[in-house]
Structure 1
Amino acid sequence: MFSFTTEPEIPMLTVTRTGEWSLATVAAHEIVFRQELYQLQLSGKPRGLIVDIGATWPQERNVAWALRRMEARLGDLRPERIAVVSSFGASRLHARHLKEPDTQIFASMKYAREWILRMADPTGLSTEVHEQPCQADPEGMAVHVYGPSSDMDVMLTPSAALETAKRIGNAAVEVIIGQAMADGERASIATLGHCADASLANCRLQAQTSGGQEHHY
Protein backbone atom coordinates (compact mmCIF):
# COMPACT_ATOMS: atom_id res chain seq x y z
CA MET A 1 0.00 0.00 0.00
CA PHE A 2 2.90 2.40 0.68
CA SER A 3 6.68 2.47 0.61
CA PHE A 4 9.37 4.97 1.52
CA THR A 5 12.72 5.81 -0.06
CA THR A 6 14.98 8.15 1.88
CA GLU A 7 17.89 10.04 0.34
CA PRO A 8 19.53 11.76 3.35
CA GLU A 9 22.29 13.34 1.26
CA ILE A 10 19.77 15.61 -0.52
CA PRO A 11 17.79 15.30 1.91
CA MET A 12 14.59 13.95 0.36
CA LEU A 13 11.90 11.40 1.10
CA THR A 14 9.89 9.68 -1.64
CA VAL A 15 6.55 8.13 -0.68
CA THR A 16 4.81 5.77 -3.07
CA ARG A 17 1.12 5.02 -2.54
CA THR A 18 -0.66 2.15 -4.28
CA GLY A 19 -4.04 0.47 -4.20
CA GLU A 20 -7.28 1.52 -2.54
CA TRP A 21 -6.86 2.91 0.95
CA SER A 22 -8.99 2.62 4.09
CA LEU A 23 -8.94 4.53 7.36
CA ALA A 24 -6.75 1.75 8.79
CA THR A 25 -4.27 2.24 5.94
CA VAL A 26 -4.05 5.96 6.70
CA ALA A 27 -3.44 5.29 10.40
CA ALA A 28 -0.65 2.78 9.68
CA HIS A 29 0.86 5.10 7.08
CA GLU A 30 0.96 8.09 9.43
CA ILE A 31 3.03 6.28 12.07
CA VAL A 32 5.77 5.24 9.63
CA PHE A 33 5.55 8.51 7.70
CA ARG A 34 6.23 10.60 10.80
CA GLN A 35 9.18 8.38 11.72
CA GLU A 36 10.71 8.83 8.26
CA LEU A 37 10.20 12.60 8.33
CA TYR A 38 11.76 12.82 11.79
CA GLN A 39 14.89 11.04 10.58
CA LEU A 40 15.04 13.43 7.62
CA GLN A 41 14.67 16.40 9.95
CA LEU A 42 17.88 15.43 11.77
CA SER A 43 19.87 16.53 8.72
CA GLY A 44 19.21 20.15 9.65
CA LYS A 45 18.86 21.03 5.95
CA PRO A 46 15.85 22.11 3.84
CA ARG A 47 13.91 18.94 3.21
CA GLY A 48 12.03 17.79 0.12
CA LEU A 49 9.18 15.31 -0.22
CA ILE A 50 7.84 13.50 -3.28
CA VAL A 51 4.46 11.76 -2.98
CA ASP A 52 3.75 9.42 -5.89
CA ILE A 53 0.00 8.73 -6.03
CA GLY A 54 -0.07 7.58 -9.65
CA ALA A 55 -0.97 4.00 -8.69
CA THR A 56 -3.45 4.92 -5.94
CA TRP A 57 -7.09 4.17 -6.65
CA PRO A 58 -9.79 6.83 -6.14
CA GLN A 59 -10.44 7.21 -2.42
CA GLU A 60 -13.66 7.40 -0.45
CA ARG A 61 -14.42 10.87 0.89
CA ASN A 62 -13.73 9.88 4.52
CA VAL A 63 -10.30 8.50 3.51
CA ALA A 64 -9.46 11.71 1.64
CA TRP A 65 -10.39 13.77 4.71
CA ALA A 66 -8.27 11.49 6.93
CA LEU A 67 -5.25 12.05 4.66
CA ARG A 68 -5.75 15.83 4.80
CA ARG A 69 -5.99 15.76 8.60
CA MET A 70 -2.82 13.67 8.70
CA GLU A 71 -1.02 16.30 6.60
CA ALA A 72 -2.31 19.08 8.87
CA ARG A 73 -0.86 17.30 11.93
CA LEU A 74 2.70 17.21 10.56
CA GLY A 75 3.60 20.59 12.05
CA ASP A 76 7.39 21.04 12.22
CA LEU A 77 7.86 17.74 10.41
CA ARG A 78 6.34 19.16 7.23
CA PRO A 79 9.05 19.39 4.50
CA GLU A 80 9.93 22.74 2.95
CA ARG A 81 8.96 21.62 -0.54
CA ILE A 82 6.45 18.94 -1.60
CA ALA A 83 6.04 17.47 -5.10
CA VAL A 84 2.98 15.35 -5.87
CA VAL A 85 3.22 12.99 -8.85
CA SER A 86 -0.20 12.40 -10.37
CA SER A 87 -1.45 11.44 -13.81
CA PHE A 88 -4.35 13.89 -13.37
CA GLY A 89 -2.17 16.90 -14.28
CA ALA A 90 -4.07 20.20 -14.02
CA SER A 91 -7.04 18.68 -12.22
CA ARG A 92 -8.93 19.51 -9.05
CA LEU A 93 -5.89 18.17 -7.18
CA HIS A 94 -3.74 20.82 -8.84
CA ALA A 95 -6.28 23.54 -8.19
CA ARG A 96 -6.46 22.62 -4.49
CA HIS A 97 -2.71 23.07 -4.09
CA LEU A 98 -2.39 26.05 -6.44
CA LYS A 99 -2.17 28.63 -3.64
CA GLU A 100 0.46 26.65 -1.72
CA PRO A 101 3.85 27.87 -3.01
CA ASP A 102 5.67 24.95 -1.39
CA THR A 103 3.56 22.32 -3.21
CA GLN A 104 3.49 21.50 -6.93
CA ILE A 105 1.80 18.80 -9.01
CA PHE A 106 3.77 16.93 -11.69
CA ALA A 107 2.82 14.33 -14.29
CA SER A 108 6.12 12.46 -14.00
CA MET A 109 8.71 11.56 -11.37
CA LYS A 110 11.45 13.08 -13.53
CA TYR A 111 10.12 16.63 -13.28
CA ALA A 112 9.19 16.21 -9.62
CA ARG A 113 12.77 15.24 -8.76
CA GLU A 114 14.21 18.11 -10.79
CA TRP A 115 12.04 20.58 -8.90
CA ILE A 116 13.03 19.18 -5.50
CA LEU A 117 16.73 19.04 -6.43
CA ARG A 118 16.73 22.71 -7.45
CA MET A 119 15.88 23.53 -3.84
CA ALA A 120 18.80 21.43 -2.63
CA ASP A 121 21.29 22.98 -5.10
CA PRO A 122 24.38 23.96 -3.07
CA THR A 123 24.80 27.09 -5.19
CA GLY A 124 21.74 28.44 -3.43
CA LEU A 125 20.20 29.86 -6.60
CA SER A 126 16.81 31.39 -5.93
CA THR A 127 13.80 31.48 -8.25
CA GLU A 128 12.29 34.87 -9.01
CA VAL A 129 9.01 35.36 -10.83
CA HIS A 130 9.13 38.19 -13.40
CA GLU A 131 6.19 40.09 -14.85
CA GLN A 132 8.12 41.18 -17.95
CA PRO A 133 8.93 38.73 -20.80
CA CYS A 134 12.42 37.82 -21.95
CA GLN A 135 13.94 39.39 -25.06
CA ALA A 136 14.93 37.21 -28.02
CA ASP A 137 17.15 38.34 -30.92
CA PRO A 138 18.87 36.51 -33.80
CA GLU A 139 22.66 36.62 -33.51
CA GLY A 140 24.44 34.93 -36.40
CA MET A 141 23.41 31.25 -36.40
CA ALA A 142 21.95 31.37 -32.87
CA VAL A 143 19.11 32.93 -30.90
CA HIS A 144 20.03 35.17 -27.97
CA VAL A 145 17.51 35.02 -25.11
CA TYR A 146 18.03 37.50 -22.28
CA GLY A 147 16.33 39.54 -19.56
CA PRO A 148 14.24 40.74 -17.89
CA SER A 149 16.96 40.51 -15.18
CA SER A 150 20.70 40.75 -15.79
CA ASP A 151 21.37 37.17 -14.73
CA MET A 152 19.19 35.71 -17.52
CA ASP A 153 21.30 35.33 -20.64
CA VAL A 154 21.47 32.27 -22.90
CA MET A 155 22.37 31.43 -26.50
CA LEU A 156 20.33 28.71 -28.24
CA THR A 157 20.38 27.03 -31.61
CA PRO A 158 17.21 27.72 -33.64
CA SER A 159 15.82 24.22 -32.99
CA ALA A 160 16.52 24.51 -29.24
CA ALA A 161 14.89 27.95 -29.18
CA LEU A 162 11.72 26.63 -30.87
CA GLU A 163 11.50 23.65 -28.52
CA THR A 164 12.02 25.96 -25.53
CA ALA A 165 9.21 28.21 -26.75
CA LYS A 166 6.86 25.22 -27.06
CA ARG A 167 7.70 23.96 -23.58
CA ILE A 168 7.20 27.39 -22.03
CA GLY A 169 3.88 27.71 -23.88
CA ASN A 170 2.68 24.32 -22.61
CA ALA A 171 3.61 25.20 -19.02
CA ALA A 172 2.01 28.65 -19.21
CA VAL A 173 -1.28 27.26 -20.53
CA GLU A 174 -1.39 24.61 -17.79
CA VAL A 175 -0.86 27.24 -15.08
CA ILE A 176 -3.53 29.55 -16.55
CA ILE A 177 -6.03 26.66 -16.73
CA GLY A 178 -5.16 25.68 -13.17
CA GLN A 179 -5.78 29.23 -11.97
CA ALA A 180 -9.17 29.30 -13.70
CA MET A 181 -10.09 25.98 -12.08
CA ALA A 182 -9.00 27.28 -8.68
CA ASP A 183 -11.23 30.34 -9.14
CA GLY A 184 -14.16 28.08 -10.01
CA GLU A 185 -17.40 30.02 -10.16
CA ARG A 186 -15.48 33.19 -9.27
CA ALA A 187 -13.52 33.05 -12.53
CA SER A 188 -14.18 36.25 -14.45
CA ILE A 189 -14.85 36.57 -18.16
CA ALA A 190 -11.44 38.24 -18.49
CA THR A 191 -9.73 35.26 -16.82
CA LEU A 192 -11.48 32.75 -19.07
CA GLY A 193 -10.72 34.90 -22.12
CA HIS A 194 -7.04 35.02 -21.13
CA CYS A 195 -7.07 31.24 -20.79
CA ALA A 196 -8.62 30.80 -24.24
CA ASP A 197 -6.21 33.29 -25.85
CA ALA A 198 -3.19 31.55 -24.32
CA SER A 199 -4.39 28.13 -25.43
CA LEU A 200 -5.05 29.32 -29.00
CA ALA A 201 -1.66 31.07 -29.21
CA ASN A 202 0.08 27.92 -28.01
CA CYS A 203 -1.78 25.78 -30.57
CA ARG A 204 -0.62 28.12 -33.34
CA LEU A 205 2.97 27.91 -32.06
CA GLN A 206 2.81 24.12 -32.03
CA ALA A 207 1.46 24.10 -35.59
CA GLN A 208 4.09 26.50 -36.92
CA THR A 209 6.98 24.49 -35.46
CA SER A 210 5.80 20.95 -36.25
CA GLY A 211 7.39 20.50 -39.66
CA GLY A 212 5.19 23.06 -41.41
CA GLN A 213 1.98 21.06 -40.91
CA GLU A 214 -0.70 23.51 -39.82
CA HIS A 215 -3.70 22.33 -37.84
CA HIS A 216 -6.99 24.22 -37.58
CA TYR A 217 -8.97 24.44 -34.37
Structure 2
Amino acid sequence: MILFGIRSPLIVEIEETLIRCGIAISAAVSVNDTPRMLDRSRIVDLRDFAAPPGGRFIACAFSPHRRGELIEQARALGLELAQALIDPTAILPQSARIGEGSFINAGAVIGGATIIGEAVLVNRAASVGHHVLLGDRVSIGPGATLAGDIRVGENSVIGAGATVQPDVRIGANSIVSAGAVVRKNVPDNCIVAGNPAVAKPFKPRASSLQITGGE
Protein backbone atom coordinates (compact mmCIF):
# COMPACT_ATOMS: atom_id res chain seq x y z
CA MET A 1 0.00 0.00 0.00
CA ILE A 2 1.29 3.47 -0.93
CA LEU A 3 0.12 6.37 1.22
CA PHE A 4 0.01 9.52 -0.89
CA GLY A 5 0.11 12.96 0.75
CA ILE A 6 0.79 12.46 4.44
CA ARG A 7 0.48 15.90 6.05
CA SER A 8 -3.09 15.38 7.31
CA PRO A 9 -3.51 14.26 10.94
CA LEU A 10 -5.78 11.60 9.46
CA ILE A 11 -2.66 9.74 8.32
CA VAL A 12 -2.08 8.51 11.88
CA GLU A 13 -5.47 6.77 11.93
CA ILE A 14 -4.93 5.36 8.44
CA GLU A 15 -1.62 3.93 9.57
CA GLU A 16 -3.24 2.42 12.67
CA THR A 17 -5.90 0.77 10.51
CA LEU A 18 -3.22 -0.64 8.19
CA ILE A 19 -1.49 -2.14 11.23
CA ARG A 20 -4.75 -3.72 12.47
CA CYS A 21 -5.43 -5.09 8.97
CA GLY A 22 -1.91 -6.47 8.61
CA ILE A 23 -1.28 -4.43 5.44
CA ALA A 24 2.29 -3.36 4.78
CA ILE A 25 3.18 0.20 3.77
CA SER A 26 5.46 0.11 0.75
CA ALA A 27 5.95 3.89 0.69
CA ALA A 28 4.56 7.04 2.29
CA VAL A 29 4.86 9.90 -0.19
CA SER A 30 5.28 13.42 1.17
CA VAL A 31 3.96 15.97 -1.34
CA ASN A 32 6.09 18.95 -0.22
CA ASP A 33 4.44 18.81 3.21
CA THR A 34 5.54 17.94 6.73
CA PRO A 35 4.60 14.28 7.33
CA ARG A 36 2.57 13.25 10.38
CA MET A 37 3.13 9.51 10.56
CA LEU A 38 3.77 7.22 13.51
CA ASP A 39 6.25 5.18 11.45
CA ARG A 40 8.53 7.50 9.47
CA SER A 41 10.80 4.78 8.10
CA ARG A 42 9.18 4.61 4.65
CA ILE A 43 8.65 8.32 3.93
CA VAL A 44 9.72 9.40 0.45
CA ASP A 45 9.66 12.96 -0.90
CA LEU A 46 7.59 13.28 -4.07
CA ARG A 47 10.68 14.50 -5.95
CA ASP A 48 12.47 11.25 -5.10
CA PHE A 49 9.53 8.88 -5.50
CA ALA A 50 9.75 6.29 -8.28
CA ALA A 51 6.26 4.83 -8.71
CA PRO A 52 6.28 1.04 -8.99
CA PRO A 53 4.38 -0.48 -11.93
CA GLY A 54 0.79 -1.13 -10.93
CA GLY A 55 1.30 0.50 -7.54
CA ARG A 56 -1.87 1.15 -5.55
CA PHE A 57 -2.41 4.07 -3.19
CA ILE A 58 -4.69 5.79 -0.68
CA ALA A 59 -4.89 9.61 -0.79
CA CYS A 60 -4.55 10.93 2.75
CA ALA A 61 -6.59 14.11 3.22
CA PHE A 62 -9.88 15.03 4.91
CA SER A 63 -10.69 17.80 2.42
CA PRO A 64 -12.43 16.33 -0.67
CA HIS A 65 -10.79 18.82 -3.01
CA ARG A 66 -7.34 18.22 -1.53
CA ARG A 67 -7.95 14.48 -1.85
CA GLY A 68 -8.89 15.01 -5.49
CA GLU A 69 -5.66 16.92 -6.13
CA LEU A 70 -3.60 14.13 -4.59
CA ILE A 71 -5.41 11.53 -6.68
CA GLU A 72 -4.63 13.46 -9.86
CA GLN A 73 -0.95 13.69 -8.90
CA ALA A 74 -0.74 9.99 -8.06
CA ARG A 75 -2.49 8.91 -11.24
CA ALA A 76 -0.13 11.08 -13.28
CA LEU A 77 2.66 8.90 -11.89
CA GLY A 78 0.86 5.76 -13.06
CA LEU A 79 -0.52 4.73 -9.66
CA GLU A 80 -4.00 3.26 -9.18
CA LEU A 81 -6.43 3.63 -6.29
CA ALA A 82 -6.21 0.80 -3.79
CA GLN A 83 -9.18 -1.28 -2.74
CA ALA A 84 -11.18 0.31 0.06
CA LEU A 85 -9.37 0.37 3.40
CA ILE A 86 -11.82 -0.78 6.08
CA ASP A 87 -10.90 -0.85 9.76
CA PRO A 88 -11.63 -4.23 11.38
CA THR A 89 -13.74 -2.50 14.05
CA ALA A 90 -16.12 -0.98 11.47
CA ILE A 91 -19.46 -2.70 10.83
CA LEU A 92 -20.46 -3.29 7.20
CA PRO A 93 -23.29 -5.44 5.81
CA GLN A 94 -22.73 -7.72 2.84
CA SER A 95 -25.13 -5.60 0.78
CA ALA A 96 -22.98 -2.44 1.05
CA ARG A 97 -20.72 -1.45 -1.85
CA ILE A 98 -17.53 0.49 -1.15
CA GLY A 99 -15.60 2.23 -3.93
CA GLU A 100 -11.85 2.06 -4.50
CA GLY A 101 -9.64 4.38 -2.50
CA SER A 102 -12.22 4.83 0.28
CA PHE A 103 -11.32 4.70 3.98
CA ILE A 104 -13.81 3.45 6.58
CA ASN A 105 -12.35 4.42 9.94
CA ALA A 106 -12.55 2.68 13.31
CA GLY A 107 -16.01 2.20 14.82
CA ALA A 108 -17.94 3.38 11.76
CA VAL A 109 -21.28 1.67 11.05
CA ILE A 110 -22.61 1.31 7.49
CA GLY A 111 -26.25 0.35 6.82
CA GLY A 112 -27.62 -2.17 4.37
CA ALA A 113 -27.77 -1.52 0.61
CA THR A 114 -25.61 1.58 0.97
CA ILE A 115 -23.36 2.60 -1.93
CA ILE A 116 -20.14 4.50 -1.21
CA GLY A 117 -18.27 6.06 -4.11
CA GLU A 118 -14.60 6.40 -4.94
CA ALA A 119 -12.13 7.88 -2.43
CA VAL A 120 -14.77 8.50 0.25
CA LEU A 121 -13.86 9.01 3.91
CA VAL A 122 -16.18 7.77 6.66
CA ASN A 123 -14.50 8.87 9.85
CA ARG A 124 -14.39 7.24 13.26
CA ALA A 125 -17.68 6.32 14.96
CA ALA A 126 -19.78 7.79 12.13
CA SER A 127 -23.08 6.09 11.32
CA VAL A 128 -24.34 5.83 7.73
CA GLY A 129 -27.85 4.40 7.41
CA HIS A 130 -29.49 2.05 4.94
CA HIS A 131 -29.93 2.85 1.22
CA VAL A 132 -27.56 5.81 1.43
CA LEU A 133 -25.59 6.96 -1.61
CA LEU A 134 -22.32 8.81 -1.01
CA GLY A 135 -20.78 10.37 -4.11
CA ASP A 136 -17.08 10.33 -4.95
CA ARG A 137 -14.70 12.00 -2.47
CA VAL A 138 -17.37 12.71 0.17
CA SER A 139 -16.02 13.20 3.70
CA ILE A 140 -18.05 12.17 6.76
CA GLY A 141 -16.73 13.63 10.03
CA PRO A 142 -16.30 11.81 13.34
CA GLY A 143 -19.55 10.86 15.05
CA ALA A 144 -21.80 12.14 12.25
CA THR A 145 -25.14 10.35 11.78
CA LEU A 146 -26.84 9.86 8.43
CA ALA A 147 -30.29 8.28 8.56
CA GLY A 148 -31.78 6.14 5.78
CA ASP A 149 -32.28 6.92 2.09
CA ILE A 150 -29.92 9.90 1.93
CA ARG A 151 -28.01 11.12 -1.13
CA VAL A 152 -24.78 13.11 -0.74
CA GLY A 153 -23.23 14.67 -3.86
CA GLU A 154 -19.54 14.44 -4.73
CA ASN A 155 -16.95 16.52 -2.86
CA SER A 156 -19.31 17.31 0.02
CA VAL A 157 -18.47 17.32 3.72
CA ILE A 158 -20.62 16.22 6.65
CA GLY A 159 -19.01 17.74 9.75
CA ALA A 160 -18.29 16.11 13.08
CA GLY A 161 -21.40 15.22 15.08
CA ALA A 162 -23.82 16.44 12.40
CA THR A 163 -27.16 14.69 11.86
CA VAL A 164 -28.89 14.26 8.51
CA GLN A 165 -32.51 13.12 8.75
CA PRO A 166 -34.11 10.54 6.42
CA ASP A 167 -34.86 11.16 2.74
CA VAL A 168 -32.63 14.24 2.50
CA ARG A 169 -30.56 15.14 -0.57
CA ILE A 170 -27.29 17.03 -0.12
CA GLY A 171 -25.86 18.56 -3.27
CA ALA A 172 -22.32 18.43 -4.61
CA ASN A 173 -19.55 20.62 -3.15
CA SER A 174 -21.58 21.43 -0.04
CA ILE A 175 -20.74 21.50 3.66
CA VAL A 176 -22.85 20.44 6.62
CA SER A 177 -21.20 22.17 9.57
CA ALA A 178 -20.26 20.31 12.72
CA GLY A 179 -23.28 19.61 14.95
CA ALA A 180 -25.86 20.74 12.38
CA VAL A 181 -29.23 18.98 12.11
CA VAL A 182 -30.31 18.78 8.47
CA ARG A 183 -34.04 18.28 7.87
CA LYS A 184 -34.39 19.59 4.30
CA ASN A 185 -32.56 19.16 1.01
CA VAL A 186 -29.32 21.11 0.57
CA PRO A 187 -28.51 22.55 -2.90
CA ASP A 188 -25.13 22.28 -4.60
CA ASN A 189 -22.38 24.65 -3.40
CA CYS A 190 -23.98 25.55 -0.07
CA ILE A 191 -22.97 25.50 3.57
CA VAL A 192 -25.56 24.69 6.23
CA ALA A 193 -25.37 25.16 9.98
CA GLY A 194 -27.62 25.13 13.03
CA ASN A 195 -30.69 23.23 14.23
CA PRO A 196 -32.59 23.17 12.01
CA ALA A 197 -29.80 23.75 9.50
CA VAL A 198 -30.07 26.84 7.27
CA ALA A 199 -28.31 26.98 3.90
CA LYS A 200 -26.11 29.78 2.57
CA PRO A 201 -24.35 29.96 -0.83
CA PHE A 202 -20.78 28.81 -0.66
CA LYS A 203 -17.82 28.87 -3.03
CA PRO A 204 -15.83 25.74 -2.18
CA ARG A 205 -12.11 25.98 -1.56
CA ALA A 206 -9.79 23.22 -0.40
CA SER A 207 -8.76 25.19 2.70
CA SER A 208 -12.31 25.91 3.86
CA LEU A 209 -13.44 22.34 3.28
CA GLN A 210 -10.57 21.11 5.38
CA ILE A 211 -11.47 22.86 8.62
CA THR A 212 -15.11 21.82 9.09
CA GLY A 213 -14.91 18.08 9.49
CA GLY A 214 -12.68 17.71 12.53
CA GLU A 215 -9.53 16.40 10.81
- Select the structure that is richer in helix: 1
Say yes or no: TM over 0.5: no
- Select the structure that is richer in strand: 2
